[in-house]
Structures are given as structure tokens and as C-alpha cells.
Amino acid sequence: MAPTSQIRFIDTALSCTGPFAVSYTDPDQKWLIRKHLISLIQNFPSLTPSVDQFFHDNGSTVNLLNVKGYLQVSHSTPRIPINIWLLENYPFMAPLVFVLSDADSPIHSNHPFVDSSGATTSPYLSFWSHPHSNLSDFVRNLVKLFSHDHPFVYLAAAASGSFTHPALVSKQEAIDRLVGRLHYDVAAVTAKTEEEIEELAALEGEMEKRVVTATSIVLGLDREKKNLKRRVKEMTDEADVIMNWVGVNDPRHVLAAAGEGRTEDAFEAADETAERVVNHLAADKAIEDLIYALDEAVEKGVVTIEAYIRQVRSSAREQFFHRAKILPWLH
């Protein structure tokens, strides 16, 4: 039996008028709310009804009935403070439920039914349907969920996580079990996917760097190719010039044109002085060849040492004379 004082509070809140009136206008709706609240506090004495202002996302405020208290899901775990709000369209709309946490009891960051703000959802709320759904059944379902997956982080690792044998569960527990497992599977897949995305992003960055490097290499090779083409053209042009010169100045052609037998006659000095220098150079080179030939002759025994010495002395004096004539022009 619910405490008389709490029943009287509910009746007073539903019948109040003026600025403190709750935002439920339909008499049948008020009767259903009264019935559900009384049933809830009978089954869960740790919960207490209250009337407070509720702030909607659009900034408007309304006076709504809500239930505050705690749930004791087991003797080995701490109590779970909760706050259940009955919105204007209750019971045709599911209530809003929050788990109240503090610094000493933070909420498990990856809980399947409670987010970091404490907002709570479950398959029972997702499939809320009047008249089949009510507050008492919902809280019973919530206790069962939290007994297997406690919302507070420091107990998450110690939670048993073992539901009843599949052959013995109800339809609702089977749904809860499936949703819980799917949540953790999705969380694991999401974490793995994010890790792979980070790896692919890093790989993409490395590939972009390689593309820049490869592009730079290709551009450099292209420039080198153009330079080589230009150099080949220049060398081809130079080769053509040389070939033309050779064609004009080939001694065989020159001698054939001159009709003479001396190769040196194919070259013409610029003036008399240049001609004298060329003659002295030619004489100097001729004496060098003579001395070299005498060396070979001595080695072979064709010429005697005495004859070799006389000829070398004579050739050396003559070579000295020619070099003395060339020397002023070399400086």
C-alpha cells in the first residue's frame, strides 16, 4: 500500500489550479497518471513523486510530475539515483528518464542504455505503447537491465553480464539482451573502423607526399629530356658544320682540285710572317722525327754510335735555330 501522504500529494498536484498547476488538462489522462504513479510507489517505495519545472529544448517551461529516488539492483552494487519525468502527453508518450551521477560515480562511457548526460533509453521505452506500457513494468525492466550492466563506470568491469538462459527468458528480456550485445558489437566495430580510418588517413597523407615527390621527379626528367633534345640539336648542327668543313677542306679533295702532290700546299698562311713560323715549326717537327729515327737505328745496330752522335749534334743545332726563330711569336 502506497503511503497516504504521497497519494494525497499526487491528488493535490493533479487538482491544483493557477500558476502552479501541472500541464495535464484531460481528466482521463490525470486519472491514468494517478493510477500509474500510485502503482509505482507501491512497488518501489524508494521513489517519491514531485512537481517541478521542466525546461524544453525550445526554452519553454512547464510544471510536470516526476519521480525521484534510487534503484537498488543488487546488494553488491551501489544504488542508482534516477529521475523520471511524465511529459504533457503521458501515458501516450514514454517518460523521460535520467540516471543522476556525480564525480564519485561517473557513468560508464560506453553504456548501451545510458549516455554521458544520464539520459536513459531502453527497448521498453523505444516500444512504449499505451495501454500496454506503464511505469511499474518499465522500472522493473530497468532494474533487470542495470543488474546485468551497471551504469557506473567503476563497476562496469565487475558486472556479471550474464542473462538468464535463452530458453527461459521473456520476450522483453530477449530484446534487452539483443540490444545490449548489439550495442557493444557496434561500439567494437566503430572503434575498429575509426582506427582503420586513421590508418587510411595516414596512408593517404603518405601517398600524397609520394605523389608530390613523383611529380617533382617527372617534371625534372621532363626538363632534362628537353635539355637533352636541345643539346642533341646543337650537337647535330655543330656536326653538320664540321662535316661541311671537312667536305670542303678534305686533303684528298683539295689535292685533286690543285692537281699537286704535296699535302702542305693545301694550307695557305695568312701572311709572310705566319708562313715563316709554319715553316720553322715544320722543320722542328721534322728534326724530332729524325732524332727518333736515329734512336731506333742505334738500337738496331744500323748506325754506329759515332755517326749517331755527329748527326744528333748537327740536328740539335739546327733545331735550336728553328726554335729560336719561333719563340718570339709564341709569346
- The pLDDT tens digits of the residues spanning 74-90 come to 887 888 999 999 999 99
Distance from C-alpha of 90 to C-alpha of 323, rounded to nearest angstrom:
128
CA 52 to chain CA mean position, Å: 50
Q: What was the pLDDT predicted at 128?
A: 94
Give residue 168's pLDDT band: very low, low, confident or very high (50, 70, 90).
Answer: very low
pTM: 0.53
The highest-confidence range among 7-11, 70-74, 180-184, 327-331, by mean pLDDT, is 7-11
Give the per-residue pLDDT at 309: 87
Which tens digit of pLDDT belongs to each residue from 203-217?
888 899 999 999 999
List, for residues 303-326, the tens digit of each pLDDT value: 888 888 888 888 888 888 888 887
**What is the band of 255 on the pLDDT scale with cuts at 50, 70, 90?**
low
**Res 138 pLDDT > 80:** yes
Angle between helices 251-258 and 171-249 (to 10 degrees): 20
pLDDT band at 120 (very low <50, low <70, confident <90, very high): very high
User: Between these two residues, 225 and 259, which has the higher pLDDT value?
Assistant: 225
From 317, 312, 265, select the one nearest 293 (Cα to Cα): 312
129 confidence band (pLDDT: 50, 70, 90): very high
Instruction: Calculate the average pLDDT of the chain.
Output: 82
Give the list of residues 6+ apart from residue 151 with CB closer than 8 angstroms, or none: 80, 99, 101, 107, 108, 111, 113, 114
Give the residue carrying C-alpha cell 717537327: 285
Q: Which has more pLDDT, 116 or 139?
A: 139
Give me the sign of the Cα torsion angle 187, 192, 197, 199. positive
Contact 150, 108 (CB under 8 A): yes
Residue whose entry in the numeric block shows the C-alpha cell 537498488: 72
pLDDT tens, residue by residue, 43-55: 999 999 999 999 9
The answer to whether the Cα torsion of 25, 27, 32, 36 is positive or negative is: positive
d(CA 213, CA 61): 62
User: pLDDT tens digits for 266-285?
Assistant: 556 667 777 888 888 888 88
The pLDDT assigned to 301 comes to: 82
Element housing 321 (H / E): helix 305-330
- Residue 167, pLDDT > 70, answer no
Q: At which residue does the C-alpha cell 695568312 appear?
A: 270
pLDDT at 160: 45
User: 157 pLDDT band (50/70/90 cuts)?
Assistant: very low
Average pLDDT over residues 156-170: 46
Containing 221, the helix (H) or strand (E) segment is helix 171-249
